Structure 1
């Protein structure tokens, strides 16, 4: 951070232009330099014995990595941040930091599927039991708490189906029993939801998405409050699961425009979702900012904005052949599994086979839509042509 200024007095857009850089230490250059390396040189025997350098080896990080860590810590209001090579990596770091053999954790049934696979496979192998809960459970999650429950994990909105959780209620229950909380805050980012201010112990984020913003990096971030920061940092140091410095430089670049891109994605997504609500091909729109989306009132209460990701349910009359006609020939939208980049994406999903605590009762095909930075009229036109193909017989 630029040490010449107390930047907390500025608005978020201004802060993002200042975080993670200090021209006074960079020979006056605006952007921080790229540090890549493994070996760190010491001047004296005493220095190396006491490990006096901030970075005594490359696995401890570099000034480039530290710039991003420091920027994210200030943005989130955390005690500290560690990075990883992916969003899933940061989910793993957070869970490793707060669990041990014999523990029980609670995960929402709408969780990002790779996080579910990690819990059911890797954590289970090491004696950590996972139970899944209805994301709309709120205070009633208390009934699921066991004597060995150590973590309640949240993801709001839910992956694919967009349910908003009552985070303050769940945090209140967790604190009552001394349980730690983790939130996957990738959809909202710290710009639209302040996780630590809402009592979350560790907040994780896929920087691959809106922080990077250009679909060219893989990156995860985990920020912790004062109580959980030592455990998170110790886990990180033990594993040395750090990202590449090149990706951190790209993330710092993305940080400068993240607010602008988020606001643009929010505006376009709301306009497109409202347009889709009027299309006869659409049975339902699942967007947290819209009435009818599960948890919409909680979104209005707790969030300051929405991003460019939402889902729709097609009319149940359409068959797979019709869906293929639509999706195989899109001109602007592409089919891809990420989101948060500059390009618009559309992918079908069906969560019926892997939800265990809730039932997915929709019979129409579900589509997850990521709204990028293309012109909104081009997006509407591409979908209009897609719907024509969807309705085409044969």
Structure 2
């Protein structure tokens, strides 16, 4: 093409609008940068950046990240106190990546009995198919040393545990693991990097479902894995090999939600404690689970290692049957019936501990059926009134068990 020949409009439209450098102030939030292909000024520049991308964070292709996803990675890394972070489409995808990165056929992994239930499906399916041996240890972690094998490569903790919020002694577990060259991975979704910092307490890997408190608005799915510098290279290499990436629009939504994370968590905590204390005194309620309550068996560990609580709690009725649980849940009007938690709204779900525990409950056999609440940002007085109305039909009925509160 000669200098006198101007490209057609169709040709010019392909290249217009690429220069984002404009004079003036900066946006409060980073812009959404959507991209697959990255362009370079020369072959030499392309080769230079590709040669550097395994050890540096540079823009070379969309699957390796964008300025928007990098901004969220930096935010999560700061929260977790780690070296670097990778993002995943869901929290479960982050969990899967941890297992596939550090476990190989013939290896053995120890997983807490208090784990997020889809991990049990993962262990029985994908891990078993790959020839990875799994053992479950007690939710309080007291039997870990006895369960370690010569082939144990990873100890997987969830602190607190799902539903009953058991807390293990992570610094002790980390000491045991380091002495044997075993890595420790912690699901930190409950703590969201604000209430709990596993990497400071002996873990090598901290993962979260950013779907929950980081996003905070129940409108986006995301997972994250943050590691120490020592184990980082293996994670980023496995993610690049598998083409793991997230969309910039989703990353931007989590970034936006994270700006109010500490403020929201403080409100969730205050509201949840109001509700938990009220439930403890209710005649239809047998027991309440929240590590922030002095009645919780692991309250002392919670006070030592945590920086607050969130909106989660569970409770059991004096009536032990599933029908009573379902009736209470169905009678609630301000609580949505739905999975997940961490958004601004209050939620309720039934839980069957006989299916969620296999090693044995800590500190003793609890009721089989629980009601799990996530307390949102609504006025707690309104939530309490809703619970009071839903529980009222149980108060005058004969109770089948003695009050053991």
Normalised by the length of structure 2, the TM-score is 0.87
Deviation of residue 25 (structure 1)?
A: 10
Aligned to 2:144: 141
254-263 or 239-248, larger mean C-alpha shift: 239-248
- Corresponding residue for 2:110? 106
Shift of 1:112: 0.3
Could you say what secondary structure the match of 1:215 adopts?
coil
Deviation at 1:294, TM superposition (A): 3.2
Q: Deviations over 1:173-226 (max 9, x none)?
A: 001101000000111121111111112100000100100000001000100001
Aligned to 2:346: 344
Matched-pair contact (CA < 8 Å) for 2:76–2:193: no
CA deviation string 1:251-279 (max 9, x = no partner): 11111100000011011111110010000
Which segment drifts farther, 362-371 or 185-194? 362-371
Helix, strand or coil for the counterpart of 2:355?
A: coil
Q: How far has the Cα of 1:100 moved from its partner?
A: 1.1
1:221-240 equivalence runs, <5 A: 221-240=224-243
Candidates 292, 297, 300, aligned match of 2:295: 292
Give, in whole Å, the separation in 1 of the partners of 2:81 and 2:356.
35
Cα distance between partner residues in 1 of 2:69 and 2:250 = 9
Structure-2 residue corresponding to 1:13? none
TM-score when normalising by structure 1: 0.89
Shift of the alpha carbon at 1:163?
0.5
Matched positions, count? 369
Q: Is the 8 A contact 1:282 1:314 kept in 2?
A: yes
Residues 65-76 of structure 1: pairs in structure 2 closer than 5 A: 65-76=69-80
> Is the 8 Å Cα contact of residues 276 and 282 (structure 1) preserved in structure 2?
yes
Change in Cα spacing, 1:26 to 1:288, as seen in structure 2 (3 Å) is farther
Larger Rg: 2
The match for 2:47 among 41, 46, 49 is 49
Q: Distance in 1 between matches of 2:338 and 2:154?
A: 32
| From 188, 191, 207, the counterpart of 1:188 | 191
**Distance across 2 between alignment mates of 1:91 and 1:258:** 22
Quote the offset at 1:297 in angstroms.
Answer: 1.3
Asked if the contact 1:212–1:250 (Cα under 8 Å) also holds between the matched residues in 2, the reply is yes
Q: Is the 8 A contact 1:213 1:340 kept in 2?
A: yes
1:257 to 255, 260, 264: 260
Per-residue CA shift, 1:138-161, capped at 9, x if unaligned? 3x4211110000000100110111
Determine if contact 1:322/1:391 at 8 Å carries over to the other structure: no
Aligned partner (choices 348, 355, 358) of residue 356 of structure 1 = 358
Measure the CA separation in 2 of the matches of 1:76 and 1:324.
38
CA distance in 2, matches of 1:169, 1:337: 32
Whether contact under 8 Å (1:193, 1:304) holds in the other structure is: yes
Q: Distance in 2 between matches of 1:162 and 1:120?
A: 23
Supply the RMSD in Å over aligned alpha carbons.
2.0
Uncovered stretches (5+) of structure 2, i.e. residues with no partner: 1-20, 398-405
Partner of residue 331, structure 2? 329
* C-alpha separation in 2, matches of 1:301 and 1:24: 50
The change in CA–CA distance for 1:365 and 1:278 in structure 2 (over 3 A counts) is: same
8 Å contact from structure 1 (residues 26, 32) kept in 2: no
Bigger CA drift: 62-71 or 356-365? 356-365
